[in-house]
Every structure is written in structure tokens, then in C-alpha cells.
Amino acid sequence: MGNELKKYFANPRKIKEVKPLENYILLITFDNGEKRKYSMKNELKGVFNILKDEEKFCSVFINEVGNVAWNIDDNIDSSVHWGNQIDLCKDMLYMESVPVSL
């Protein structure tokens, strides 16, 4: 494991807030106050294909394990039917996103 990964996993981040922006970009606020952007443009295939629908993309939330998630069918309770949810790992999002300069 590289030094950057070791440093990150010594003090992993938690997501405090996620906001959808235009052009399939997520603005993510982490527990250290850092804001980062993650582009979903290259992810909109396979299971994430449904996020091409802007309304669906904008329904993003933080799930019970702290990942960024979407319900596939909004009429199904994802806490009961776990297969109804698609998500992105908080660790990957931190490492692959870019810092927002304020």
C-alpha cells in the first residue's frame, strides 16, 4: 500500500453532506470540513445508467454505512430490500475527487 493510502486509512474520512451539481458532478463535504468534487460523467453506464435521468441523479443521499447512494426504485424501502440501492464508496470518493478551492 502506498504512503498516501496508508496516511488516508490511518484517519479515513466520513461524508457529512452530498449535493448534486450540474453536469453530473457531486459536491461532497467530509468530516474534516473539506469540500471535494467528483464527476460522475464517466460512471453513467451499467448499474449507474439510471443516473442519466437528472431527477434520479439529484435524489442522491448518504446511506446507513456512510456511502453516497441512490435508490433504484423510490417506491421500495432500501433498508428492507438492500438490492434496491446503488452506491459509491466514501473512501474511493475521497481519493478520486478533487478539492474545491474556496
Tally of domains within the chain: 1
21 DSSP assignment? E
Q: CB 26: neighbour CB atoms within 10 A?
A: 20
User: Average pLDDT for residues 62-80, to the nearest whole number?
Assistant: 91
Q: How confident is the model at residue 65 (pLDDT cuts 50, 70, 90)?
A: very high
Distance from C-alpha of 98 to C-alpha of 56, rounded to nearest angstrom: 23
Yes or no: say if 19 and 5 are a contact pair by the CB < 8 Å rule: no
Q: What is the CATH number of the domain that holds 72?
A: 3.30.2020.10
Express each pLDDT in 12-56 by its tens digit: 899 999 999 999 999 999 999 999 999 999 999 999 999 999 999
Domain around 86: 3-99
The residue behind cell 456512510 is 66
